[in-house]
Amino acid sequence: MFGRRKKSGSAGDAADATGEAEQVDELGTDAEEGEARRVNLPPAPRPDGPWDVSEVSRPGEGRVDLGGLFVPGVEGMELRVEVAGDAIVAATVVLRDSAVQLQAFAAPKKEGIWGEVREEIASGITQQGGIIDEVEGPLGWELRAQVPVQLPDGTGGVQMVRFVGVDGPRWFLRGVISGQGAVQPQAAGLLEQIFRDTVVVRGEGPMAPRDPIVLKLPEDAQMVPEGVQQEEQEGSRFSGGMGQLQRGPEITEVR
């Protein structure tokens, strides 16, 4: 399902991919004066992906074309796009009770930024009372966070979130895994494969490091007004309404 909801486009914005968590970090903010910084190393090899568009002969085969990203399509998935202002800056794949948010950014030519990004995300979450564990997982170094959130009844709670990232040629891809995929390895496997099989299209134009790579809707996607009944939507690959997510007008893709 394609759904649009407002969010920031900064590379360090950690919004939950399932609509349960509040924003938990701001990558673009300056660190406190004198704080030690990680050394940004050159991007590491990516034998298992994610891929640059130059590395894939047919990026659109089995993937949804969102312009800056080609997102793998799998059975039963819902796909939402998220906007900052008028620009689409992220895509979230929802599978049952798990989700992964995908967001790509421009990066320097000769150095990766994931180490620095992890540090800034960890700092932001810790300042809000969360708990961070930095581990080497199936996708490389990642952050596993316990993020404080407000529950629907107004009480406080904690959400488990995984922040993963990979440095590519002049781009950086960040994933935020939430739901059961953040706590159960068996639920995360398909989300991790979606992250690995994503193709990034940075483009050749000049971009400042950490600028979001803007996405687009597929050509045959269209907005559907709230309240449209499911039986009226049948026959179109893209249909929608408020639905169970209750996040505003949505475009849904049924696979």
pLDDT tens digits, 192-241: 999 999 999 999 999 999 999 999 987 766 544 334 433 333 322 222 22
Quickly state the pLDDT bin for 151 (edges 50, 70, 90).
confident
**What is the predicted pLDDT for the residue at 156?**
87
Rounded CA-CA distance 183/22 in Å is 18
Across the range 175-190, mean pLDDT stands at 93
Rounded CA-CA distance 97/64 in Å is 21
**What is the predicted pLDDT for the residue at 4?**
45
- pLDDT of residue 38 exceeding 70: no
Rounded CA-CA distance 109/209 in Å is 9
Rounded CA-CA distance 61/72 in Å is 9
pLDDT in tens, 107-128: 998 889 999 999 999 999 999 9
What percentage of residues in the chain have a pLDDT greater than 70? Answer: 71
Across the range 159-166, mean pLDDT stands at 96
Across the range 37-51, mean pLDDT stands at 79
Q: Which residue has the higher pLDDT, 231 or 86?
A: 86
Q: What is the largest CA-CA distance in the chain?
A: 60
Q: Which CATH number fits domain 2-21+42-253: 3.40.1000, 1.10.10, 3.30.70, 3.40.50?
A: 3.40.1000
Total-model pTM: 0.74
